[in-house]
Amino acid sequence: MTTNPTTLSPAAERAAALDAADPLARFRDRFVQHPDVVSYLDGNSLGRPVAATRERLSGLVETTWAGRLIRAWDETWMDEPTRLGDTIGRLAIGAAPGQTVVADSTSVLLYKLVRAALDARPDRREIVADTENFPTDRFILEGVAAETGRTIRWIEPDPAAGVSVDEVRATAGPDTALVLLSHVAFKSGYIADMAAITAVAHEAGALVLWDLCHSVGSIDVRLDQTGADLAVGCTYKYLNGGPGAPAFAYVAERLHDTIRQPIQGWLGTADPFAMTEAYAPSPGIRQLISGTPPIVGMQPMQDMLALIEEAGGERSGTTGIAAIRRKSLALTDFVIDYADEHLARFGVRVISPRDPAVRGSHVTLEHPDFRRLTAALWERGVIPDFRPPQGMRIGLSPLSTSFAEVALGLDVLAELLERDATTADG
């Protein structure tokens, strides 16, 4: 494991000044830190635990679960999926109440929404998606296409960017039932133009399903304002819900009467405790629920959502997401500047967008030795992640990450690259 240097590097000096001026710096102490981790650069894969979650989980076990037992379903738990969904909608994805629900994993919710969208366009035979999307999205689509006899029309975008409006316009047509895209590309961090792409898909008569896994909690998402139809997102990244935390689904209210999800569980019915013989779906967003809601798994993200709301109080009239987005851009700018100044001479390339308007909260760097170097960094307590074939993602969760932490991690990377270069020269 690396130790703190006795003298600050130029990057560390700059980072110290940025931390001193950061209005969100105090939030870092609200997260659980561990001495074995000196620089966590993978908040876009799994967020750090919020310290308040210890008390929340203990309270659930000691008070609600132990004291109320099955009564808690009637008192609070039955409404937890929609209550928490509305909180995510209000604070993180720009959705009015009654359109968001917390339920299953991202994969299961993707399946439900893809099938529901295709069933809502029964006369259309094509799905539009892109080859650079996360494997789950592509695999779910391939499976559903095989089930339903649909054809997938693949967009092949620039891997260093993402899907463009023109590419969607050239691919979607009168036989397109659904367009499925990620709002933020998981490799490059490119932000797709949600409003323009949604409008183009609607012109073709198609529905659009947005994957928000790398968006929610890090950038300003406005589903209602952009006219989005459907969305799904995980909660263990920037919402800090913990490993295996349940995902959320969004269905625009205008579609509630036409969308029917395929996994008809009893808790998605209009009256679950009537124990009816035939399935009758809930008229609203609750129909997306199938089985028993994961109450334990819903707890941790509530503490992060509270921090997001609190962050909005740093400036009058500013939402928490707006404040978080400002710091995200400052952090990613810092990484790009560092790469240009200290890593480029070793052959490291920045493949994420340099334009901040279309850059999410992670920066992907490329180098032929990054698979090996990522493992070496982990041994030193510096934790980025590796994405084949040669990408290292620097994922920056703004409330839990300091500039000093980022500088320390990048200095260790530069040290390893320098050592390799010296060995090669020798």
Hey, what domains does the chain have and what are their CATH numbers? 10-51+318-425 (3.90.1150.10), 54-303 (3.40.640.10)
Q: Kindly state the average pLDDT of the residues 313-320.
A: 68
- pLDDT band of residue 315 (cuts 50, 70, 90) is low
Q: Is the pLDDT assigned to residue 314 strictly greater than 60?
A: no
* Cβ pair 388, 420 in contact under 8 A: no
The predicted structure's pLDDT at residue 1: 45
In whole angstroms, what is the distance from residue 208 CA to residue 230 CA? 6
Active site residues: 134, 211, 236-237, 393
Of the candidates 288, 232, 224, the one whose C-alpha atom is nearest the C-alpha of residue 253 is: 224
In whole angstroms, what is the distance from residue 292 CA to residue 289 CA? 8
Phi and psi at 172, nearest 5°, equal -75, 140
> What stretch of H or E contains 10?
helix 10-21
Q: Is the pLDDT assigned to residue 354 strictly greater than 60?
A: yes
- pLDDT band of residue 5 (cuts 50, 70, 90) is low
In whole angstroms, what is the distance from residue 305 CA to residue 238 CA? 10
Q: Is the pLDDT assigned to residue 2 strictly greater than 50?
A: no
Q: Is the pLDDT assigned to residue 6 strictly greater than 90?
A: no
Q: Is the pLDDT assigned to residue 11 strictly greater than 70?
A: yes
Of the candidates 369, 380, 368, the one whose C-alpha atom is nearest the C-alpha of residue 411 is: 380
Output the CA torsion sign for 128, 263, 45, 219: positive
The predicted structure's pLDDT at residue 260: 95
Transcribe 39-66 into DSSP letters: EE-BTTTSPPPBTHHHHHHHHIIIIIII
The pLDDT tens digits for 67-84 are 999 999 999 999 999 999
- pLDDT band of residue 3 (cuts 50, 70, 90) is very low
Long-range contacts, 18-23 (Cβ 8 Å, 24+)? 18/330, 18/334, 18/403, 19/402, 19/403, 19/404, 22/327, 22/330, 22/402, 22/403, 23/314, 23/315, 23/323
Q: Is the pLDDT assigned to residue 408 strictly greater than 70?
A: yes
Radius of gyration in angstroms for the set of CA atoms belonging to the chain, rounded to a whole number: 22
The predicted structure's pLDDT at residue 325: 97
